[in-house]
Structure 1
Amino acid sequence: MAESKPRKAAAPKQAAKQSAVKPKQPEPHLAMVRRARKINRILAETYPYAHPELDFENPFQLLIATVLSAQTTDLRVNQTTPALFAKYPTPEDLAAANPEGVEEILRPCGFFRAKTRSVIGLSKALTEDFGGEVPGKLEDLVKLPGVGRKTAFVVLGNAFGRPGITVDTHFQRLVRRWKWTDETDPDKIEAVVGALFPKSDWTDLSHHVIWHGRRICHARKPACGACPIAPLCPAYGEGETDPEKAKKLLKYEKGGYPGQRLNPPQAYLDAGGKPAPPLGAG
């Protein structure tokens, strides 16, 4: 009986495939800068009238409204501040206010006791240290009770025209999704993202990113299929990619829908005064 020749051990196909897969190379910094700036240009075209969504008439009102916006919506703040500013129109008025009266007005905003302490405290500081005027410098603003860098940059950028990056929860979420940074500390995010753009772009960049986070790139289920920057997004596919299903996820917000070119507030109403659908929604 003839002896059978021993068979050669076959190399595992899976191991061969794994060895052929090259590790993904990190994106070169220059390429990332170009991609980030292109994203901002597209968002600027998508939201040409992006602006602060808090209602205000002067730096003091914007400062108070921004402090009140913590842990609540801008809509809720805008529903609350008219009564507050009607009763306490100046820092001097609010500094001398009875806390219980202020608490009653701010109750709908949540955390109303802490917010009452902050707005009365910062009003006293404005009255005693700055002659009743909101200072236009970062180092002065952050000394006020309840005012951090995020609030300070909102005020500087939108009341004084001084560039700043507003790192709120939307901004943090989106810049990490886009792989602009892996940082989680707001101050570090501010520094890293600020280095990607000219300083003159910082305020508008903040508005573009925040508007996009509120309208399309949601935390739990982003509308990837309706996103204008989908080809540039490393996280594409985390949300709904079907265009028709994605359109249903778009959030209707004050000041217009994605892609609209009309001035607010008419931008979000049709000719009959009713909410209009997003452009391209059929």
Structure 2
Amino acid sequence: MTSRAATRPPSRPVGTVTRGTTNPNRLRRMDRWIAAVHGAELRRAPDPVAVDLGYGAAPWTAVELLHRLRTAAPHARVVGVEIEPARVAAARPYAREGLDFRHGGFEIPVRGRPQLIRAANVLRQYDEAEVAAVWERLCARLAPADGHSRGGLLVEGTCDEIGRRHVWVALGPEGPRTVTFATRLGSLNRPSDLAERLPKALIHRNVPGEAVHAFLRDFDRAWAAAAPYASYGARQRWIRAVRDLAADWPVADGPGRWRQGEVTVAWEALAPRRPR
């Protein structure tokens, strides 16, 4: 997708320093989803490299990503990338076999093309108009698709401080594929509670006339209609609501993932409709 010169790291990292807020176990829902849906691609790759982009003030998310990926792909390696040099220095004592930390940004300072780039809570501070260019740049760094692989995966999204509610977009080398909503069901009053965790590409689109607003409206209606199932627990209510939602929306997963408090929808169904 890019020339060798285009992928050569520049002299200065590309991007802006984030707040760096991080907590252990914050990204568990995203990690488990990645291991489940992308694990086969990681296992097939001769050198399955994953990048934890913008891991923050402490290295916990990169350490945990390695552990969770290796449950699916025992030879996976993780490189934590941070634009703030002091954070890289603080993380390096945690480096070990399969885990490294490097100074950099959106240029992704690793050799070759990674099989995974995870960017959690990184674009929250950017303007919506900047997101498409960042996505394009990161997707260009992914392992390409071929006859045996769909290529690498970029997972970009936002979660709350302790990881109870999370929404992310999954992108391949060709661009965005899906949007996943994930939550701890015991903390949920209604599905639209997840609106505050929409990624930057969608969070300002939760208004009448936009697809994501219609989706969350319909999800709330399905959740309300599934209220009788609450006597069997929040999980059964969620599963029923998603099953009803799938009649009108292109839900891309099945009950095995719904049971985890997740639902994944095709990107095209939720993509912004109105130019800005």
User: Do they fold alike, i.e. is TM over 0.5?
Assistant: no
- Give the structure with the larger helix fraction: 1
Which has the bigger relative contact order, CA under 8 A and spacing at least 6? 1
Q: Look at both structures and tell me which one has the larger radius of gyration over its CA atoms.
A: 1
- Give the structure with the larger strand fraction: 2
TM-score norm. by structure 2 comes to 0.26
